[in-house]
Amino acid sequence: MNLNAKIYIAGHRGLVGSALMRQLTAQGYNNVVTRTHAELDLTNQQLVADFFESEKPEYVILAAAKVGGIHANNTYPAEFIHENLAIQSNVIHQSYLAGVKRLLFLGSSCIYPRDCPQPIKEEYLLTGPLEPTNRPYALAKIAGIEMCWSYNRQYGTQYLAAMPTNLYGAGDNYHPENSHVIPAMIRRLHEAKINNQPTVAIWGTGTPRREFLYSDDMAEACLYLMNLPDEQFKPLLASYRNDGLPPLVNIGTGVDVTIKELAELVSSVVGYNGALEFDSTKPDGTMRKLMDVSFMRSLGWKAATSLGDGLELAYKNYINR
């Protein structure tokens, strides 16, 4: 992508989108198109069609989605599948009609089977049952990958799906009930410190293992993929490969920690000195989700921010937001 290429970032205000915006600015891109939800409802087919007809972006990064943790997924399953299916269907189809050169569709590691081998390779998609607590979201994202695959095969488009591991960083959602694990911990432990609470309850047993990627590293990886030369980018797409695999790339660190280790690290960063009590009556979710990132590393990219450094940055963002 040249620096004045017209690039549309769908979902530019979220955790992923805001990181993409920072990275685009840092790299000197000067023709980035954005719309807030109030300006463009991506679930509205006609509005999305009108937007693409008038703007005609050359590149699209689809970061807009309804996201949340276990509680949110369990509470709003209909919204998770309906809104995500509508958003990606509208954006991917209109990108094809508008002649978009490349599209990057972003999902998450929850697309993979609950009990698949670790670390998780791209080829494990659709090889077993999904984690029930986030199945509506995961199925929507799998449908998005299939859309990219189908359009590449039928129309020769260049649509790639990138599946980041668990993300955290500036612009995260710190809602007390609907947030993911790291922002939820940061908020609860910070408030416990301020209120001198002697203990803090953590959902689950603390034994599941999770991998976490700092959001700005994820954004750097996305732009790295979008800027791959044709001889590296095209072999990633289903229309140019014969192995039966979807146009899918994992993005992560290749390193995981237990939830207990994470909670202790967040406590240290926040400066909370009380006790952590793990509530085994709450669901653990998948016991391990570690991404195999050898494919991404073979393309020449590796995450640079350690979990400790990333948490320090995330906490500073939380208290200064």
Q: Which of the residues are catalytic?
A: 137
Handedness of CA 254, 255, 260, 263 (dihedral sign): negative
Rounded to 10°, the helix 307-320/259-270 angle is: 50
Query: What one-character-per-residue DSSP string does 130-144 give?
Result: PPGGGHHHHHHHHHH
Handedness of CA 76, 78, 80, 83 (dihedral sign): negative
| Rounded CA separation 87/31 (Å) | 23
Nearest to 99 by CA among 8, 14, 29: 8
| Rounded CA separation 157/93 (Å) | 11
Nearest to 74 by CA among 114, 22, 131: 131
